[in-house]
Amino acid sequence: MNKLIIIKGGQKHFIFRFMAAILYAFAVFIIVKFFINTSVSTVENYTISFLHILEMEIYIITLALLASVVNNHHFNLKESIYRKYYSVGPFGYGKWQTISKLTYTSIYLNNNDVYEVIIWDESNDRFKISFHNEENNAIETAKYVADKLSIDYYTRNA
């Protein structure tokens, strides 16, 4: 195997993307309005006002990021490396780490009644790649990923 496999987290729901777009636009609007309406000076009141605006900007951008960040998984099987890749639009970040050979996929029902699709490697490290409310969807995803990665799929014992 000499390929890069990307497991995408998919797009966020339309409502989240719409909300994030409004929040990003609002953040830009506030900072532009501040600089248009306030002349730059070294007075203490200006500095305090700017810090209040900056604090509000941090809150707004944090909410926008929470509504728009997508989580992807990148497996480079040729070099045996993996990264969890977070992206917002075309911008993203993820740090590569060395992994052992991937061995199998499985599903796990966690305490919140959510099924996790997990990829395991030889050193028993696990990579949670998706979450499902229904068992059938989790099984389909796990089998599909196992097929694409040419590894086994193990069912849980009931």
Tens digit of pLDDT per residue, the chain (158 long)?
456 677 777 777 889 999 999 999 999 999 999 999 988 888 888 889 999 999 999 999 999 999 999 888 888 878 888 898 999 888 899 999 888 888 999 999 889 889 999 999 888 888 888 889 999 999 999 998 888 888 999 876 55
Global pTM?
0.67
3-state secondary structure of 43: coil
Residue 100 belongs to some domain of the structure: yes
Same domain, 125 and 91: yes
Same domain, 76 and 139: yes
The residue assigned the tokens 């997990």 is 118
Residue 52 belongs to some domain of the structure: yes
Sign of CA dihedral 46, 47, 49, 53: positive
Residue 80 belongs to some domain of the structure: yes
Same domain, 22 and 77: no
Same domain, 95 and 149: yes
The amino acid sitting at 30 is I
Same domain, 35 and 80: no
Cβ within 8 Å of residue 40, ≥6 positions away: 46
Residue 18 belongs to some domain of the structure: yes
Same domain, 84 and 148: yes
Same domain, 82 and 63: no
**The total number of residues written for the chain in this structure:** 158
**What is the rounded distance in angstroms from the CA atom of residue 86 to the CA atom of residue 71?**
5
Alpha-carbon separation of residue 57 from 31, 52, 53, 61, 76 (angstroms): 8, 9, 6, 6, 37
Total count of domains within the chain:
2
Same domain, 109 and 145: yes
Can you give the residue range of the structural domain that contains 56? 14-68
Residue 158 belongs to some domain of the structure: no
Same domain, 54 and 84: no
Smallest Cα–Cα separation from 56: which of 85, 78, 29?
Answer: 29
